[in-house]
Amino acid sequence: MPTDARWLLALLAIAYFVGSIPVGPLLARARGVDIRKHGSGNIGATNVWRVMGWRVGATCFGLDVLKGLVPAVMATAFATRGFTSTPEPTLKTLDSAMLNLGPLAVGGAAVVGHIFPVWLGFRGGKGVATGFGALAGCYPIMTIAMIGAVTIWLVCLRLTRMVGVSSVVAAVMAPVLTLVAPALAIRWRMFPGDEVRPGTKMGLGDGVLDWHYVVLTAILAGVIIYRHRANIARALAGKEPKISAFSRLRLPLGRAKVNGNKPGA
């Protein structure tokens, strides 16, 4: 087996186990609460926020993001030889395929670990925060796209105050943002090394083999939409719980309502 293949397999295993760390349940258990028995029963940051308060929820969100970000950055550094070069935009050889698809596969393994954690009987969260971190770590194309996606998420959250709906909208827009990200990365000279410059024609959207990024983000968007189908149904029925407006996010949300939350994200 080629050395690159062995490294990729090792990173895939690391990413899965890092992604499977049940941050939400651990944070809640440290405060004497089984998060799976309160609110929606979901282990993700939204339910932790709603049940335990904004401080614990924000901590959970940040750590869930890191679960995807750190393995993806490790894989990106490996693929770009320490951020010094850009792989040839082709899948014709095993090495080039691993270098181009490796960061995406490793990031995807972290998301799979979060959604299907071995420690919780393969019943985990919805993968939004970990997925955002995983894709943001695929520098530079997905980093640009995910910055755009989280901006859309924040705007939608401001308008609707519904986390699940905002996550679905951001997920739907992610493949669209991925189409334009390579051209922006070239214009802003964000690619590692000196190989890719403005005017380079290397694939769809004036980018570097970006079709597989589009396909992956579309697949992940489909997973996120499916995982939020209950949220969508409640939103259409006008029954989706809302969080406080941004001006009130500094206040604890629900610490005194551990046993009285409505089902949510």
Q: What are phi and psi of 34, to 5 degrees?
A: -95, 100
Name the pLDDT band for 189 (thresholds 50, 70, 90): confident
Q: What is the mean pLDDT of residues 174-188?
A: 85
Q: Please report the DSSP string for 67-120 in residue order.
A: HHHHHHHHHHHHHTTTTT----S--SSHHHHHHHHHHHHHHHHHHHHHHS-GGG
Interior angle at CA 234, CA 228 and CA 236, nearest 5: 105
**pLDDT (tens digit, 9 = 90+) per residue, 3-12?**
677 888 999 9
Q: Is the pLDDT of residue 160 over 80?
A: yes
Q: Is the pLDDT of residue 155 over 80?
A: yes
- The separation between CA 195 and the C-alpha centre of its own chain, rounded to angstroms, equals 28
**pLDDT (tens digit, 9 = 90+) per residue, 15-59?**
999 999 999 999 999 999 999 998 888 898 888 988 888 889 899
Higher pLDDT, 227 or 264: 227
Higher pLDDT, 187 or 144: 144
Tokens for 100, please give them. 């181009």
**pLDDT (tens digit, 9 = 90+) per residue, 75-110?**
999 888 888 887 776 677 777 777 778 898 999 899
Q: What is the mean pLDDT of residues 145-174?
A: 92
Q: Give the chain's mean pLDDT.
A: 82
Q: Is the pLDDT of residue 188 over 90?
A: no
Higher pLDDT, 130 or 192: 130
Please report the pLDDT score of residue 209 as a whole number.
55
Residue 117: asked if its preceding bond is cis (omega within 30°), the reply is no
Higher pLDDT, 121 or 87: 121
Name the pLDDT band for 197 (thresholds 50, 70, 90): low
**Separation between Cα atoms, residue 174 and residue 25, nearest integer Å:** 28
Q: At what angle do helices 211-227 and 229-236 cross, to 10 degrees?
A: 60
**Separation between Cα atoms, residue 233 and residue 236, nearest integer Å:** 5
Q: What is the mean pLDDT of residues 128-144?
A: 91
DSSP 8-state assignment for residue 244: P
Please report the pLDDT score of residue 200 as a whole number.
54
Query: Where are the domains positioned within the chain?
Result: 3-247
Name the pLDDT band for 251 (thresholds 50, 70, 90): very low
Please report the pLDDT score of residue 1 as a whole number.
56
Higher pLDDT, 194 or 68: 68
Please report the pLDDT score of residue 84 as a whole number.
85
Q: Is the pLDDT of residue 260 over 50?
A: no
